[in-house]
């Protein structure tokens, strides 16, 4: 199996696991900040929604579109569209990203991409949206376990 095929399949599986965990949260707890200071589950999902396009752009061009200064504004813009829109963006983003991965040339995976925090290979960039979904799935599980605290 090619690495890109593995990542493409894992992206879709991880997306399903993430959405299952998100939907296990009571609806009223998806938009509130746990403890009043942490990020809300919807905010985490908005971040995930925007990561697919960022990773696809990095893999195709080798350059970051925009800057990290744009991150918070983009995040707020996506989150403000509401839960249904954010979840739809995750569904479509994961599907598109998986297609890009399946067609991505394996020999380009070792090419380097310059990022604000240092260089990474395109293979690392390809894994980032998947890793990010798993990370936030863990955070969502923690929020769920806190109950009404």
pLDDT digit string (tens) for the chain, length 149 residues: 899 999 999 999 999 999 999 999 988 888 877 767 788 899 999 999 999 999 999 999 887 776 667 778 888 899 999 999 999 999 999 999 999 999 999 999 999 998 888 899 999 999 999 999 999 999 999 888 876 55
Answer yes or no: are the C-beta atoms of 55 and 126 closer than 8 Å.
yes
Six-digit token pair at 66?
């925009």
The beta strand positions in 3-149, using DSSP E, are 112-115, 118-121
Token look-up 């905010």 returns 43
Q: According to the model, what pLDDT value does residue 61 have?
A: 87
Q: According to the model, what pLDDT value does residue 36 have?
A: 73
Task: Give Cα separations from 31 to 75, 116, 146 (angstroms).
Answer: 14, 30, 15
Q: According to the model, what pLDDT value does residue 148 have?
A: 57
Task: Give Cα separations from 2 to 6, 12, 36, 57, 131 (angstroms).
Answer: 6, 16, 44, 21, 19
């Amino acid at each position: 199996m090619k690495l890109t095929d593995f990542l493409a399949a894992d992206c879709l599986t991880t997306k399903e696991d993430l959405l299952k965990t998100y939907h296990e949260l009571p609806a009223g707890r998806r938009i509130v900040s746990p403890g009043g200071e942490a990020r809300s589950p919807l905010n985490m999902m908005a971040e995930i929604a925007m990561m697919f396009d960022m990773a696809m752009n990095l893999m195709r061009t080798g350059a970051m579109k925009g800057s990290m200064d744009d991150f918070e504004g983009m995040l707020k813009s996506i989150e403000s569209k509401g839960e249904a829109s954010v979840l739809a963006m995750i569904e479509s983003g994961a599907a598109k990203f998986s297609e890009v991965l399946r067609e991505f040339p394996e020999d380009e995976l070792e090419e380097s991409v310059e990022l604000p925090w240092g260089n990474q290979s395109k293979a690392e960039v390809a894994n980032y949206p998947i890793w990010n979904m798993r990370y936030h799935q863990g955070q969502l599980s923690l929020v769920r376990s806190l109950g009404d605290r």
